[in-house]
Amino acid sequence: MPRKGEDGRWVWIGLLGAELWFSLYWVITQAVRWKSVFRCTFKDRLSQRYKNELPEVDIFVCTANFKIEPPIMVVNTVLSVMAYDYLPEKLSVYLSDDGGSDLTFYALLEASKFAKHWIPYCKKFNVEPRSPAAYFASKSNLDHSHHNEVWVDIKILIDGKDPNAKDIDGCALPGLVYLAREKRPQHPHHFKAGAMNALIRVSSKISNGPIILNLDCDMYSNNSLSIQDALCFFMDKEKSHDIAFVQYPQHFGNLTKNDYIATHYELVSMRDALCGRKFTKDCKFEWKKDDDHKTPKSILELEEETKPLASYTYEENTQWGKEMGLRYGCPVEDVITGLSIQCRGWKSVYFNPERKAFIGIAPTTLPQTLVQQRRWAEGDFQILFCKYSPLWYAHGKISLGLQFGYCLYCLWAPISLPVLYYAIIPSFYLLKGVSLFPQVSSPWFLPFAYVISTQYIYNLAEFLWSGGTILGWWYEQRMWLYKRTSSYFFAFIDTILKMVGFTDSTFVVTAKFIDEDVLKRYEKEIMEFGYSSPMLTVLATLAMLNLFCFVGVVNKVIMNGSIFRLCKTMPLQTLLCSALVLINLPLYQGLFLRNDKGKLPSSLALKSFVVALLACTSFTLLC
């Protein structure tokens, strides 16, 4: 530690604070490794024991904007769950369309027509997956020309509909309900949480299944027996009494070989410490406790009876969003709802079957990933200060490990501050020639070298053990830095501004539509930027700042011939700055070398160049 009056004393204290924060966060992250549980189900025993006494299931699919969530993708998801290998008369599918799109509604009508052919075909030939688009995209299924032509007809939306509710084999079809709830600008609609609560109310008057399957419109079913898997837990005579929901991990069908945007969370998704609560978009089964006696009613009667339940005024002066349904006031409504359920004594089950239950669409561009991560980090950070905070409300109600598990994600936003400190300050002082870390000759150098080397060796080994590649691990490190210095930092600022009353929370839907040029670059693992944004500006400026510091140090070494002295006195700072420059190579390419539409805009390149140059020059002259 520099003595009083020496250069870098206060900066060193700042680094000490950052190290203490990293140490605390590392302890918290170990919660997801305390307990590994691998489960298996025996669906044949379930069928033998209950046969036709299995419960009814209501399936909720949510969409919000037909422009970024194409109707063809939505109906693929709907068809995949309608074709479950489950009693059709006990299956009801509800589509919530918050955009109120005529195109989505019309696509659903045509999908219901196609279902009369598709469902018996799937069950007859035991088709997997049961999403038509995913099935016909498979190379092994290209010879089914007749059904492929029918699917092409669906994609272009042929006019006409058939009111018959049976398939071509005369078997009953699952119930299919379209819901576009009433929304008014002057009344809060609470985004997806509001849509889910409207679905719960409407379904309680139509089918009222005791079990709910909730999934996003981009998460098609990949396993026709997923319901039976969940029922094995819900109907277990010994342990089912306190199980609130069964959660499947997130899997994506469009990942590249090395997953260069790092959207796959296989490391943590193979752990059970969080009781399945990991991603904001996971699919989960949840009990619906109100099970009123149902009496047969006509379609018109049901429509009139359920319309008020989806009106914008229904929830006024009620407990919906507070004590009933999904909780309001947080961008990650499923996380806070799951936490509140567990605090009431319920438990959850994480289940990762050998055949993936659901397949989704991962973001294909860096801006999409950053926006998604920003919303998640903002929502998780807000939970830390809300009524259901895992720090105080959950204390004594859930296990300490589960508290740590929730805190792991609630602290995403504030961890951006020490990461930013490390990404800026050591490089500045390297440029100035001031050492902030122990020299090679110091006995304190060994602890630093040991911690750094073991951490990265363990991290790489765990990544490879989970099925990743060395290049994929390197991409993971890059996205680790990008998310913490942009998404999490802006989430931290947004939350603080919301707490003092300057802004309100927003819900940004991640685009699911992929341009052909973007897709080609994505498959080649070329990072897609495309447009200017504050988060990309921060990333580009940090990249340029470290590049200037690195070039400045290299210039000094060449001019003075002092490379040995540099390696002896400031090895860790040199290594850190070099690693930051190397990890930012895609940004440099996007700023200066690429000419395609996915590069960074020239205006952003100029802005980041000027700001970084001024910062380095000012620090060198004034500090």
Least trusted range by pLDDT, from 152-166, 470-484, 554-568, 569-583? 152-166
d(CA 160, CA 162): 7
Q: Residues annotated in the binding site for UDP-alpha-D-glucose, as ranges?
A: 69, 98
d(CA 84, CA 175): 13
Instruction: Give the pLDDT confidence score for residue 261 in this predicted structure.
Output: 85
What the block records as the tokens of 451 is 């911690």
Least trusted range by pLDDT, from 359-368, 377-386, 506-515? 506-515
Quick one: how far is CA 413 from the chain centroid? 15
Percent pLDDT > 90 in the chain is 47
On the question of pLDDT at 384 being above 50, the answer is: yes
d(CA 421, CA 399): 33
d(CA 56, CA 207): 8
Q: In terms of pLDDT, which residue wins out, 53 or 453?
A: 453
CB distance 279 to 215 below 8 Å: no
d(CA 135, CA 51): 29
Instruction: Give the pLDDT confidence score for residue 281 in this predicted structure.
Output: 35
Q: What is the DSSP string of 236-293?
A: -TTTGGGEEEEEPPP-BSS--TT-TT----HHHHT--TTTT---TT--EEEE----PP
Instruction: Give the pLDDT confidence score for residue 293 in this predicted structure.
Output: 46
pLDDT band, very low/low/confident/very high, at 617 (cuts 50, 70, 90): very high
On the question of pLDDT at 110 being above 60, the answer is: yes
Instruction: Give the pLDDT confidence score for residue 267 in this predicted structure.
Output: 43
> Is-cis flag, bond preceding 447, omega within 30?
no
What the block records as the tokens of 15 is 């680094």
d(CA 195, CA 216): 12
Percent pLDDT > 70 in the chain is 87
Instruction: Give the pLDDT confidence score for residue 474 in this predicted structure.
Output: 96
What would the pLDDT profile of 310-356 be if each residue is shown by its tens digit?
888 899 889 998 888 899 988 888 889 989 989 988 888 989 899 99
CB distance 8 to 434 below 8 Å: yes
Instruction: Give the pLDDT confidence score for residue 514 in this predicted structure.
Output: 72
477, containing H or E segment: helix 470-482
Compute the average pLDDT of residues 566-581. Answer: 92
Report if pTM > 0.95. Answer: no
What would the pLDDT profile of 206-241 be if each residue is shown by its tens digit?
988 889 999 999 999 999 999 999 999 988 888 888
Q: Which residues of 201-236 are buried (b: 16+ CB within 10 A; e: fewer)?
A: bbbbebbbbebbbbbbbbbbbbbbbbbbbbbbbbbe
Q: Report which of 119, 40, 52 is spatially closest to residue 355, judged by C-alpha positions.
A: 40
Instruction: Give the pLDDT confidence score for residue 418 in this predicted structure.
Output: 97
What are the catalytic residues?
98, 334
Q: In terms of pLDDT, which residue wins out, 508 or 207?
A: 207
Compute the average pLDDT of residues 457-461. Answer: 93
For tokens 């239950």, what's the residue? 357
Compute the average pLDDT of residues 461-466. Answer: 90
* Burial group, residue 38, by CB count within 10 angstroms (0-12, 13-18, 19+): exposed
On the question of pLDDT at 545 being above 70, the answer is: yes
Least trusted range by pLDDT, from 68-77, 347-356, 495-504? 495-504
What the block records as the tokens of 558 is 């060449």
Q: Residues annotated in the binding site for Mn(2+), as ranges?
A: 192, 216
Q: Report which of 286, 566, 294, 265 is spatially closest to residue 431, judged by C-alpha positions.
A: 566
On the question of pLDDT at 98 being above 60, the answer is: yes
Compute the average pLDDT of residues 291-300. Answer: 62
Q: Residues annotated in the binding site, as ranges?
A: 69, 98, 192, 216
Q: In terms of pLDDT, which residue wins out, 283 or 513?
A: 513
d(CA 405, CA 595): 44
Q: How far is CA 362 from CA 66, 487, 514, in A?
A: 18, 17, 11
Instruction: Give the pLDDT confidence score for residue 156 in this predicted structure.
Output: 42
CB distance 484 to 559 below 8 Å: no
Whole-number mean pLDDT of the chain?
A: 85
On the question of pLDDT at 167 being above 70, the answer is: no
CB distance 364 to 316 below 8 Å: no
How far does the chain reach from its first CA to its final CA, in angstroms?
A: 19
pLDDT band, very low/low/confident/very high, at 265 (cuts 50, 70, 90): low
Q: Report which of 349, 421, 366 is spatially closest to residue 536, judged by C-alpha positions.
A: 366
Residue 244 CB coordination number (10 Å): 19
Q: Report which of 240, 243, 246, 230 is spatially closest to residue 282, judged by C-alpha positions.
A: 246
d(CA 305, CA 368): 40
Specify the pairing of strand 91-97 against strand 243-247: unpaired
Domains of the chain: 9-32+419-622 (no CATH), 43-362 (3.90.550.10)
pLDDT band, very low/low/confident/very high, at 292 (cuts 50, 70, 90): very low
Compute the average pLDDT of residues 593-615. Answer: 94
On the question of pLDDT at 151 being above 80, the answer is: no
For tokens 């397949």, what's the residue? 359
Instruction: Give the pLDDT confidence score for residue 202 in this predicted structure.
Output: 92
Q: Report which of 274, 316, 551 is spatially closest to residue 407, judged by C-alpha positions.
A: 274
Residue 293 CB coordination number (10 Å): 5
**166 forms bridges with which residues in the sheet?**
172
Q: In terms of pLDDT, which residue wins out, 278 or 67?
A: 67
d(CA 329, CA 382): 9
CB distance 242 to 345 below 8 Å: yes
Q: Taking the CA atoms of the chain, what radius of gyration do you get in angstroms? A: 27
Quick one: how far is CA 410 from the chain centroid? 14
pLDDT band, very low/low/confident/very high, at 28 (cuts 50, 70, 90): very high
Compute the average pLDDT of residues 350-374. Answer: 92
Sign of the alpha-carbon dihedral angle for 410, 414, 420, 426:
negative
pLDDT band, very low/low/confident/very high, at 510 (cuts 50, 70, 90): low
d(CA 307, CA 314): 10
On the question of pLDDT at 1 being above 50, the answer is: yes
pLDDT band, very low/low/confident/very high, at 388 (cuts 50, 70, 90): confident
